[in-house]
Copies of this chain bind each other. A is one copy, B any other.
Amino acid sequence: MPKDQSQESHTAPAVQDGQQCDRIKEVLSRVGDRWSVMIIFSLGRGTMRFNEMKRYLGISQRMLSLTLKALERDGLVQRTLHPTVPPRVDYDLTDLGRSFCEPVYAMGRWALDNLDNIDRSRAAYDAAQED
C-alpha cells in the first residue's frame, strides 16, 4: 500500500497509481524472472525442442521443465507432443507469448547496447571502493 502518493511532480511516465503498481508487481513476479525471459527470448526465433533449449540456454533440465510448465500455464508457451517414436515435443510461443516478445526484445536490445557501460561502471565502482 503506497503511503506517499502526493508529491509526484516528477516525470511520471506511464501507467501508475498504487494498486496498478501492485498488479504490475504481481505479473512481473510471475514472468519477470531470468529463465522465463530467456526462454521467451529464444522461442521468439521459432519452434524449439526441449533438449535444444536446454543446450542453447545452459539451463538445468529441472528448471527448464518447471519454467516451461509455468509459461504454458500462463498461456505464453504452447507445448505440442508428436506421438512419434521416439516422442518429440515442440515448444512455441502463443499469440500472448509473441506479444510479450516485444518488451523482452526491448530489454535484450538495451542489455546489448549497455553492457559496456555497465562494465565500466562496475570497474569504476570497484576501484573507488579500494581506497
Which residues does A use to contact B, with CB under 8 Å? 1-4, 7-16, 20-21, 23-34, 37-38, 41-42, 44-47, 52, 55-58, 72-76, 96, 99-112, 114-115, 117-118, 120-122, 124-126
Determine the distance from Cα of A100 to Cα of B76 in the docked complex, in whole angstroms.
24
Q: In the complex the two chains form, is A121's CB within 8 Å of B46's CB?
A: no
Q: In the complex the two chains form, is B24's CB within 8 Å of A56's CB?
A: no
Number of copies: 2
Q: In the complex the two chains form, is B103's CB within 8 Å of A27's CB?
A: no
Q: In the complex the two chains form, is A114's CB within 8 Å of B24's CB?
A: no
* Given A52-B3, A55-B1, also A9-B112 (CB < 8 A): no
Of chain B, the residue at the smallest CB distance from A95 is B117
Q: What are the residues of chain B within 8 A of A41 when measuring CB–CB?
A: 21, 24
Q: Given B10, B27, B37, B106, which contacts A106 in the complex, CB threshold below 8 Å?
A: B106
Of chain B, the residue at the smallest CB distance from A7 is B46
Q: How far, in Å, is A72 (CB) from chain B's closest CB? A: 7
Q: In the complex the two chains form, is A15's CB within 8 Å of B112's CB?
A: yes
The 4 closest A-B pairs by CB, nearest first: A75-B121, A10-B46, A27-B111, A103-B106
